[in-house]
Amino acid sequence: MWKFIHKLASPPHFYGLAAKIIPWFFLPGLILIFYGLYGGLLLAPPDYQQGDAFRIIYVHVPSAYLSLMAYSIMAISAGIGLIWRLKLAHAVAAAAAPIGAWFTFLALATGSIWGRPMWGTWWEWGDPRLTSELVMLFLYFGYMALRGAIDDTAKADRASAVLALVGAVNVPIIHFSVEWWSSLHQGPTLMKKGGPAMDAAMLYPLLAMILGFTLIFGALLLRRVRTEVLYRERRTRWVRHLVLSSAVEKK
């Protein structure tokens, strides 16, 4: 088992493998998203309370879910990197941050646009769900700024890992905020007792969008980890050989 993990985590092996895997995430992800768009925008009936505005759920929920998923991956990888000194884990953490920040921005922006017609406001300071999600955006920014400020990669890995782990407290706070405090934000629709509270015609496109977004996220993450690995290994023999051997055929 350990041998297998070490082989998988060996930079040249990972670099080659990731390039092969990326399309297997990307293409099925796109197909699922197209199905989700078709089902969500054309087939699903309007909501009895929110009318057609409810359709924003098809981009808002996957984005919000991924914003949390990306942070969890970042914090867990950073923790693994700290404890077991696995360089690949630090590369994963560093790669997850910018993607997570973009999805957090999307969750906030689409939520705000949804809030305008439904709650009558773009933003509500003091609302626990909205504020804790905004705090996460700043945590991502802080993480990236800290990395950018330290030239030595190993030091940047350790310092930013501590920040990522401390900030991880925010993840359950965001998730449970709508249950712990009163919030403008509606409660959970999918992850609640008794199963999802949604009609199948609305639910399946949403599940397709969530899975599709996750696969696209996976492809983005693999692409960025691959770049991180290449950068970290830039002075090694295998990278030199890689660049020299592909100078003719280009990559």
Partner 1 sequence: MMELLSMGGYGAYVWSCFVLTAIVIAICEWRARARHRQVYRDIEVRVKALGDNG
Q: Which is nearer to partner 1, 71 or 82 (CB)?
A: 71
At 176, list the tokens: 């449970």
Does the footprint of partner 1 cover residue 90 (CB under 8 A)? no
Does the footprint of partner 1 cover residue 146 (CB under 8 A)? no
Strand partners, 51: 47
Q: Which of residues 169-228 bind partner 1 (CB under 8 A)?
A: 216, 220, 223-224, 226-227
Q: Which is nearer to partner 1, 78 or 220 (CB)?
A: 220
Binding residue for partner 1, selected from 11, 14, 25, 55, defined by CB under 8 A? 55
- For helices 87-119 and 11-38, give the axis angle rounded to 10 degrees: 20
179 Cβ contact list (under 8 Å, min separation 6): 187, 188
CA-closest candidate to residue 227, choices 17, 15, 9, 7: 15
Does the footprint of partner 1 cover residue 239 (CB under 8 A)? yes
Binding residue for partner 1, selected from 34, 166, 234, 238, defined by CB under 8 A? 234
26 Cβ contact list (under 8 Å, min separation 6): 215, 216, 219
Binding residue for partner 1, selected from 135, 184, 211, 230, defined by CB under 8 A? 230
Q: Which of residues 29-48 bind partner 1 (CB under 8 A)?
A: 37, 41-42, 46
To partner 1, the closest distance from the beta carbon of 106 in angstroms equals 5
Distance of CA 76 to the CA centre of its chain: 13
CB 21 within 8 A of CB 218: no
Following CA atoms 230, 233, 235, 238 in sequence, which dihedral angle do they give, to the nearest 10 degrees? -80
At 122, list the tokens: 């773009």
Q: Which is nearer to partner 1, 37 or 211 (CB)?
A: 37
Interface with partner 1 (CB under 8 A): 37, 41-42, 46, 51-53, 55-56, 58-60, 63, 98-99, 102-103, 105-106, 109-110, 113-114, 116-117, 216, 220, 223-224, 226-227, 230-231, 234, 239-240, 243-244, 247, 251
